[in-house]
Structure 1
Amino acid sequence: MAGAAAAGDLGPRTAGLAAASVCLYWSGMAANDWADRELDAVERPERPIPSGRVSPGQAVGIAAGLTAAGVALAALAGGRRALAVALPLAGAVWAYDLKAKNTPAGPAVMAACRGLDVLLGASGGRVARALPAALTVAAHTYTVTELSRREVSGAGRTLPAATLAGTAGVAVAAGGRRVTSGALAVWYAAAYGGAQVRVAADPSAAMVRAAVGAGITGLPSLQGALTARAGQPLAGLAVAAIAPLARVLARKVSPT
């Protein structure tokens, strides 16, 4: 939605590209659990594969099927231009899960996934105009991913201070001069930034996980701000309205 609005192409095809985005995101979640199954058996045995609720074969099959579905939906909704973004996006998702996640490049690769996701939405319009929105979402994702690497061990006080500064910059970039986008950017900064302030005060693993969850569930408010900044305030409010629903659902199913 944010990419389509920025590119001047918010319309019927956006729904198909959003569905493709969902499939690719879910494929990454399943592939992540499959790739981490041995580590999770030690550190987080309650996860789906170590607990026995899902077999490794089922997880990788789901991940592959959702990847294929996401690429196919992108091609159907946006043609060759969307396919040209969906394929590298799918590749980046698998590269993160299988190789990059536990390396210094991990946050940058995940940020690239989210930036490409914005450009997928923009693929039917003027893509160059969506680059600032893509970079803003990528910067947000970088901070969330850096925090997520400390979900088990906890963090020092330097990391949340650095990510909080990044979040402030992201909020300023998303807000712009429009009333709606500015209000949504403040909402984003208060929710996600507040969680990082709490990590700075108590850098335990539980607080880090809470901040990561806030970063994930706060993404719709950021994307809503970017959509509103592109001249689509009602669409931006609709996107941002998903954020409180996401927080409710996160109490039942962990977003991390």
Structure 2
Amino acid sequence: MRLRDAAELVRLPAALTVPGDTLAGAAASGWPNGRRTWALPVASTLLYWAGMALNDYADRTIDAVERPERPIPSGRVSPGGALALATGLTAAGVGAATWGGGRRALTVALPLAATIWCYDLAGRRGPVGPALMAGARGLDVLMGAGGRSTAAVPALAMAVHTAGVTALSRGEVNGAAPADAGLALSATLTGAALACVPAPGGRSATAPAFAALFASTVGAAQTEALRSPDAATVRSATGAGIRGMIPLQAALLARSGHVGAAAALLCAGPIARAASKVVSPT
């Protein structure tokens, strides 16, 4: 498997939208894992890549018709190779989570991995698909907090936004119903509102600014999809929703009083946008 083909298989640029999950969870819980916290964003990224490879494995027959340029139907990656990569990345992700967060992180990493596999192999195209993906993203945030309830608001914000993006993404090939675009827009606004809910102690007043950046950039693309829900517009809105995870995570970090970390995280946004022109994030 060539590196370029593997990068396309796992949708490499989209991984930049993942590390902020565990950072937001850890920040909301007072950084309980200390210096080892850095391993949790690595774990999130590995599990995300596993899910993307597994997604293409599960959808290989459908992609042969709808997206024949994808790595598996085009013959550049074998189904067995994609499955093996997904399995290895899952194991590595769970291992990294255990090293970084100990037993508490492991108790979240295992159901997170199970949710990812369930979504890709059984629930992706069913009615519970968006809920499963939302659950995975919420668990990812909680993994950074070791399952502590102090990260409940960040986990809910990421889960709600993810549900909207996932529902809308189903129209990337044939277009979406206006209701799907409306749902995605409502979910985005809800996520932004949750990021503005004061954290215990009310340590930062900058979260609303980050939340406004998130809502305005993602909301504009979703509003366009609401007006014209054709496949191309929906793909654009889906990409904006995925990249929008970053400013939402920044808002959640700011909510916990970590404005510097929030500002630094925003730097991943332009990188993700530039990389998306080389390798598709969807």
TM-score by length of 1: 0.96
Equivalent of 2:96 in 73, 77, 89 = 73
Q: What is the Cα deviation at residue 176 of structure 1?
A: 4.2
Q: Secondary structure at the match of 1:169?
A: helix
1:206-245 deviation line (CA, Å, top 9, x unaligned): 1111111111111011001101101111111112221221
Residue type matched to 2:216 in 1? Answer: A
Matched, 1:8 2:34: no
- The answer for the alignment partner of 2:119 in structure 1 is 96
- The answer for the alignment partner of 2:73 in structure 1 is 50
Residue type matched to 1:191 in 2? Answer: T
Q: Secondary structure at the match of 2:46?
A: helix
Matched, 1:116 2:139: yes
Cα distance in 1 for residues equivalent to 2:205 and 2:223: 26
Q: Secondary structure at the match of 1:183?
A: helix
Matched, 1:213 2:236: no
Matches within 5 A, 1:188-227: 188-227=214-253
- The answer for the alignment partner of 1:167 in structure 2 is 188
Cα distance in 2 for residues equivalent to 1:176 and 1:14: 25
Are 1:220 and 1:241, in contact at CA under 8 Å, matched by a contact in 2? no
Residue type matched to 1:144 in 2? Answer: V
Cα distance in 1 for residues equivalent to 2:94 and 2:217: 33
1:51-72 deviation line (CA, Å, top 9, x unaligned): 1121111100100000000011
- The answer for the alignment partner of 1:29 in structure 2 is 52
Are 1:111 and 1:141, in contact at CA under 8 Å, matched by a contact in 2? yes
The count of aligned residue pairs is: 254
Identity %: 53
TM-score by length of 2: 0.87
Q: Secondary structure at the match of 2:76?
A: coil
Q: What is the Cα deviation at residue 247 of structure 1?
A: 1.1
Larger RCO: 1 or 2 (CA < 8 Å, sep 6+):
2
Are 1:222 and 1:240, in contact at CA under 8 Å, matched by a contact in 2? no
Cα distance in 1 for residues equivalent to 2:273 and 2:192: 19
Q: What is the Cα deviation at residue 183 of structure 1?
A: 1.4
CA RMSD of aligned residues (A): 1.3
> 174-183 or 79-88: which moved more?
174-183
- The answer for the alignment partner of 1:152 in structure 2 is 173
Q: Secondary structure at the match of 1:153?
A: coil
Q: What is the Cα deviation at residue 200 of structure 1?
A: 1.3
Residue type matched to 2:50 in 1? Answer: S
- The answer for the alignment partner of 1:183 in structure 2 is 209
Which structure 1 residue ranges, 5 or more long, are not aligned?
A: none
Cα distance in 1 for residues equivalent to 2:267 and 2:68: 33
Which structure 2 residue ranges, 5 or more long, are not aligned?
A: 1-22, 199-203
- The answer for the alignment partner of 1:131 in structure 2 is 152
Are 1:175 and 1:183, in contact at CA under 8 Å, matched by a contact in 2? no
Give every structure 1 segment of 4 or more consecutive aligned residues whose post-TM-superposition deviation is greater than 6 Å: none
Q: Secondary structure at the match of 2:206?
A: helix
Are 1:225 and 1:240, in contact at CA under 8 Å, matched by a contact in 2? no
Q: What is the Cα deviation at residue 159 of structure 1?
A: 2.0
- The answer for the alignment partner of 2:7 in structure 1 is none
Are 2:112 and 2:139, in contact at CA under 8 Å, matched by a contact in 1? yes
Q: What is the Cα deviation at residue 145 of structure 1?
A: 0.4
Matched, 1:107 2:133: no
Cα distance in 2 for residues equivalent to 1:218 and 1:107: 17
Equivalent of 2:107 in 64, 79, 84 = 84
1:82-134 deviation line (CA, Å, top 9, x unaligned): 110100000000000000101100000000000000001111xx811101110
Matched, 1:143 2:164: yes
Are 1:174 and 1:226, in contact at CA under 8 Å, matched by a contact in 2? yes
Are 2:195 and 2:208, in contact at CA under 8 Å, matched by a contact in 1? yes
Are 1:184 and 1:240, in contact at CA under 8 Å, matched by a contact in 2? no
